[in-house]
């Protein structure tokens, strides 16, 4: 996957209810480079939903997937897209962050492997080399997945996002972390068939894959703006669900370098998973936090009631 940084700035639009006042700017750092997971954000921009709320949005992409959460917590960006497990781990470590909403409310993460490699059940990974994508998160999920599913004598290797290369070269036998909507489509375009285990069907509690994070202090400064951001984004989600083809074309116009054929395939697997709103379920977050503590993803209990905030 490319590590090139993309920056897309939506020009300021006057808010209809605030005549004469310039739109207020929010910076949003994506979890990675722009892809079809982010279509509702681009739809909300192009259709003017953010502008109607008195907002202009600057979209940034990180060079490392660990950056967004850290930068948001430190106040260097207003909002960041991150992952619920990563947010739970960071909160347990004492990082002052707040989760304010979701974009994708179901796990996308898989244990991915090549079809025809002799892997048909998790136990087949015993004695194998397992790669992972995001240090500090996917390696811990891999250990939990292995313990729950009776996988023994395995070795973990950080492959970053060189997923297909690591699998095809035989460097690893499987990888924890690839998304079920994206990597299989990318592999198919390269002539390979993906097999994968959806981790929520193998002992990992369901969770929100993509969530919006801000810093605790940043939330207090920009609570109203973040609330309006989430309202506008929900309009973008509804638009994407009702007009998927138009929403995808909006994304392609905003990101012309996107590989259209592959991302169209990925989008067909993605758009039913958005929303249906941005609200976070505290009970589901508590269930995952309890799981994380039990299986060693975190060392200290997380106060989920404090972590989750609805601006």
- With 80 as the cut, is the pLDDT of residue 14 above it? no
More confident residue, 22 or 103: 103
* Residues 243-265 pLDDT 10s: 999 999 999 999 999 999 999 99
The architecture of the domain spanning 7-106+208-307 is 3-Layer(aba) Sandwich (3.40)
Summary mean pLDDT of the chain: 92
Q: Which whole number is the average pLDDT over 130-135?
A: 94
| DSSP structure string for 27-95 | EEE-SSS--GGGHHHHHHHHTTHHHHTTEEEEEE--SSTTHHHHHHHTTSSSEEEE-HHHHHHHHHTT-
- With 50 as the cut, is the pLDDT of residue 10 above it? no
- With 60 as the cut, is the pLDDT of residue 66 above it? yes
Cα–Cα distance list, 285 to 2, 105, 145, 200, 209 (Å): 31, 11, 18, 14, 11
State the pLDDT confidence band at 84, using cuts at 50, 70 and 90: very high
- Cis amide linkage into residue 193, ω under 30° from 0: no
The two tokens of residue 75 are: 């106040």
Is residue 107 within 8 A of residue 199, CB to CB? The reply is yes
Q: What percent of the chain has pLDDT over 90?
A: 88
Is residue 289 within 8 A of residue 303, CB to CB? The reply is no
Q: Which of 5-9, 23-27, 145-149, 258-262 has the lowest mean pLDDT?
A: 5-9
Determine the pLDDT at residue 136.
87
Least Cα distance to 254 among 55, 8, 47 occurs for: 8
* Residues 153-168 pLDDT 10s: 999 999 988 999 999 9
Domains of the chain by residue range: 7-106+208-307, 109-201
- With 50 as the cut, is the pLDDT of residue 7 above it? no
Which residue is listed with tokens 């989600």?
237
Residue 181 is classified by DSSP as T
* Residues 194-208 pLDDT 10s: 999 999 999 999 999
State the pLDDT confidence band at 21, using cuts at 50, 70 and 90: low
Q: In what order do the strands lie in the sheet with 97-104?
A: 7-9, 55-60, 24-29, 79-82, 210-215, 97-104
Identical topology for domains 7-106+208-307 and 109-201: yes
Q: Which CATH superfamily is domain 109-201 in?
A: Periplasmic binding protein-like II (3.40.190.10)
Is residue 158 within 8 A of residue 143, CB to CB? The reply is no
């Amino acid at each position: 996957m490319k590590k090139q940084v993309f920056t897309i700035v939506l020009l300021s639009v006057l808010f209809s209810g605030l005549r004469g006042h310039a739109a207020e700017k929010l910076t949003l750092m994506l979890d990675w480079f722009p892809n079809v997971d982010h279509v509702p954000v681009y739809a909300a921009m192009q259709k003017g939903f953010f502008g109607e709320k008195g907002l202009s949005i600057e979209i940034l992409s990180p060079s490392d997937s660990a950056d967004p959460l850290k930068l948001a917590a430190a106040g260097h960006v207003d909002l960041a897209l991150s992952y619920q497990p990563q947010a739970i781990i960071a909160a347990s470590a004492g990082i002052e962050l707040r989760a304010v909403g979701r974009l994708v409310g179901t796990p996308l993460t898989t244990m991915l492997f090549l079809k025809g490699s002799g892997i048909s059940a998790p136990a087949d990974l015993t004695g194998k080399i397992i790669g992972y994508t995001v240090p500090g998160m996917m390696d811990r999920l891999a250990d939990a997945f292995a313990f729950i599913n009776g996988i023994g004598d395995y070795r973990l290797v950080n492959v970053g996002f060189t997923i297909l290369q690591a699998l095809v070269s035989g460097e690893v036998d499987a990888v924890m972390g690839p998304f079920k909507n994206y990597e299989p489509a990318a592999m198919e375009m390269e002539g390979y068939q993906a097999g994968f285990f959806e981790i929520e069907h193998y002992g990992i509690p369901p969770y929100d894959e993509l969530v919006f994070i801000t810093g605790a202090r940043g939330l207090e400064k920009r609570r109203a703006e973040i609330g309006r951001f989430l309202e506008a984004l929900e309009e973008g989600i509804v638009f994407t669900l009702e007009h998927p083809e138009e929403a995808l074309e909006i994304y392609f116009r905003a990101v012309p370098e996107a590989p259209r054929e592959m991302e169209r395939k990925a989008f067909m697997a993605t758009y039913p998973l958005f929303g249906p709103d941005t609200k976070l379920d505290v009970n589901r977050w508590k269930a995952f936090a309890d799981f994380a503590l039990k299986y060693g993803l975190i060392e200290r209990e997380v106060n989920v009631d404090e972590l989750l905030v609805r601006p």
